[in-house]
Amino acid sequence: MAKAGLTEREIIGVLTRRFDSKPKLPLGFDEDVAAFPTSPRGLVVLKTDMLVGHTDVPPGMTLGQAARKAVVATASDFAAKGVQPEGLLISLGLVPPVRLSTVNEIVAGLEKGAREYHCRIIGGDTSETDDLVIDCIGFGFSAAGRILRRDGAKPGDVVAVTGDFGRTTAGLQILLGKKKRWPHRFSKLISSVLLPSAKLEAGLKLAESGFVNGSIDSSDGLAWSLHEIARLSRVNIVLETIPVAPDVKMFAREQGLVPEELALFGGEEYELVLAIKRDGFANVRRRIPSLQKIGNVTIGSGNVIAPFGRSFRKIEPRGYEHFS
């Protein structure tokens, strides 16, 4: 029997082992972004995020929305590091024959995204491909000690998130389903997929506050993000609550699904997942009203524990591996 192929994470594992060698980089391959020193105290921060038609563009999403989403995904990684993206390069892979309207729609979506996150598109490349490819490369600058990391969470920290979870998983199920119409009360589920947004403003405020010990975006799902902080910081995370969005609870009830599953094991949800110093949490909470506490960091070795009904259970390090 043929051996199954490597998963996305196994591939990244191989790249990490091969490239993440000496001399030590300011940020490892495990991070949301890459960084390189420009001076003893300055860093250039870089990120590439490739959007591919058949895995990242669900039915119902326009080309313009797909292009904007490519920018959002990259901006979200900058948000997680608390760094303003200054500029973008775009590598476009387009399926021939390429119509002018296609290019214009993509350009409009890219411009919309760039405007929202106050960055500028400064270059790019285009190639002929079998499927839409939009590789969005962002860069920005940061002081070496200011950048938010995944690996600094400490026992006693408050675990917090910038918003509720589960909408993209629910919205994707709706879009992938056969039904043409859905009740208006589920419109936020759909728009969470088609018009996601990166929490850049929150990320910049978080970096400014000086109270954040661990930060990651939730593009691979809440459970995966919590595990990354726990694993890289060598701590446990004990959740008090799973932040399920109210309309996700409603959707889950109607569909006979477990709402917590939708919230934990979704993906492409661009919230920030944070470990914040306990004595700074009230301060940070005032600056970012959407912030909600969901648990605590404890001594441990990379586990994430969450309440299910009356009992606590370990959460698997399972994440989002595309919807194809």
Residues 6+ apart with CB under 8 A from 29: 12, 15, 16, 19, 20
CA distance 282 to 126: 47
Is residue 6 within the footprint of a second copy (CB under 8 A)? yes
For a second copy, which residue of 41, 62, 115, 131 counts as binding (CB under 8 A)?
A: 131
Angle, CA 246 vertex, CA 150 and CA 62 arms, to 5°: 75
Interface with a second copy by CB under 8 A: which range of 117-125, 213-221, 271-279, 298-306? 117-125
Is residue 124 within the footprint of a second copy (CB under 8 A)? yes
Judged by beta carbon, residue 60 or residue 87, the one nearer a second copy is 87
For a second copy, which residue of 71, 72, 79, 137 counts as binding (CB under 8 A)?
A: 137
Q: How many CB atoms lie within 10 A of CB 52?
A: 18
- What does the buried/exposed string (b/e) look like for 291-313 if buried means 16 or more CB atoms within 10 Å of the residue's CB? bebbbbbbebebbbbbeeeeeee
Judged by beta carbon, residue 23 or residue 256, the one nearer a second copy is 23
Token pair 């026992």 is found at 155
Shortest distance, CB of residue 308 to a second copy, whole angstroms? 32
Is residue 118 within the footprint of a second copy (CB under 8 A)? no
Is residue 323 within the footprint of a second copy (CB under 8 A)? no
Shortest distance, CB of residue 287 to a second copy, whole angstroms? 28
Q: Is the CB of residue 191 less than 8 Å from the CB of residue 245?
A: no
Shortest distance, CB of residue 5 to a second copy, whole angstroms? 3
**Binding-site size, a second copy (CB under 8 A):** 67
Q: How many CB atoms lie within 10 A of CB 188?
A: 16
Judged by beta carbon, residue 182 or residue 323, the one nearer a second copy is 323
Nearest CA-CA partner of 209 in 291, 295, 119, 114: 291
**Quick one: CA dihedral 48, 54, 56, 57, positive or negative?**
positive
Is residue 92 within the footprint of a second copy (CB under 8 A)? yes
Residues engaged in binding a second copy (CB under 8 A): 2-6, 8, 11-12, 14-15, 18-19, 25, 29, 31, 33-36, 38, 42, 44, 46-52, 54-56, 86-87, 89-94, 96-100, 103-104, 107, 111, 121-131, 133, 135, 137, 139, 141, 322, 324
